[in-house]
Amino acid sequence: RKEVEQDPGPFNVPEGATVAFNCTYSNSASQSFFWYRQDCRKEPKLLMSVYSSGNEDGRFTAQLNRASQYISLLIRDSKLSDSATYLCVVNKGSNDYKLSFGAGTTVTVRA
């Protein structure tokens, strides 16, 4: 089983729509969770950290469900510039700095 699994998509949505997707992780000892964004032919960049209580950053909301070992990302009022691949990222244990990256979920926002 992969350490981090994501629905590859693509999710094709119109501007202004809400899009949401999840990822699951296998290591119950994981303590650090992130969403990264990767644009075509560019390096990954941190979008947001994910905290136990859930957190919001503008139009982006991240949730963590430890019991079911999944993380979600919701994008409200989608913009054309949100088109990218979103990588779910989880650390390997309670005190391990090595991160496992999901293969990514592709989102395409159309005009």
Q: Which residues bind other proteins (CB under 8 A)?
A: 31-34, 42-46, 49, 51, 87, 89, 91, 95, 97-104
In angstroms, give the least distance from the CB of 73 to other proteins: 16
What is the 3-class SS of 21-85, one letter each residue?
A: EEEEECCCCCCCEEEEEECCCCCCEEEEEECCCCEEECCEEEEEECCCCEEEEEECCCCHHHCEE
- Cβ nearer to other proteins, comparing 40 with 111: 40
In angstroms, give the least distance from the CB of 32 to other proteins: 4
- Cβ nearer to other proteins, comparing 12 with 49: 49
- Cβ nearer to other proteins, comparing 41 with 111: 41
In angstroms, give the least distance from the CB of 17 to other proteins: 25
> Between the CA of residue 55 and those of 45, 49, 71, what are the distances in Å?
18, 8, 11
In angstroms, give the least distance from the CB of 95 to other proteins: 7
* Spatial contact of 62 and 50, defined as CB atoms under 8 Å apart: yes
